[in-house]
Amino acid sequence: MTPAKREQFFDRLAAAIPDPRSELEHATPFELLVAVVLSAQATDKSVNLATAKLFPVANTPAKIAALGVEGLEAYIRTIGLYRGKARNVVALSSLLLEQHGGEVPRTREALEALPGVGRKTANVVLNVAFGELTLAVDTHVFRVSNRTGLAPGKDPLEVESRLMKVVPTKHLRHAHHYLILHGRYTCVAQKPLCYRCPVYEQCGFGEKRKFAAMDPAKPKAPRATLPKQVRKAKARAPRSR
């Protein structure tokens, strides 16, 4: 994809997604951190359902630590891998109290030192909570970057590195959400909705014409039928045995 097409690509996504934001419900950096840790291999919807009950009861490191692992499990057991996540969230809450005065740190190194926090989670927190120009590469960003030719790479780190080099500076703040939301609702995994894609012209996906033709709103061509007389003749004709 050429620099000019990349510029157009993000201009069009920005116009199509005028209010890019995380779909994880949160009101503080700590709530965001907890929600992102819980969202690993889980949907944002399932996390939001759990945190809607959890956060009114415990939404600070001190309250989560006091709740304990078993107490936290009771709120998040509907989320996949909830036992391990409960251990990580309680442990990271304790570390925040011991090493950071109960505050979420604003550096990648300090974030990644917390239990259950990897590069992707750190990037989300830095970008969403603190406005840093970071790019978290999840399954949607990885797919869109490779499928469209925007920033192909064999693994998330390579895709992230390429995106940081090619995303226009004016779009870097929200590029993470543009790509996630585009991948979640349009450039989906199995049958991308190319017929309603805002970046169709810029996209380098080799099969986009095939998927664009699957528009459910497009009238289907009538099925060819034999003339009535021919159908009757075929019906009367003896069948070979």
Catalytic machinery residues: 120, 138
Pairwise CA distance, residues 60 & 105, whole Å: 14
Pairwise CA distance, residues 28 & 144, whole Å: 29
Pairwise CA distance, residues 14 & 150, whole Å: 16
Residues 51/39, Cβ–Cβ less than 8 Å: no
Report the SS3 class of residue 190: coil
64-69, long-range: CB < 8 A, 24+ apart? 64/34, 64/89, 64/90, 64/93, 65/90, 65/93, 65/94, 65/97
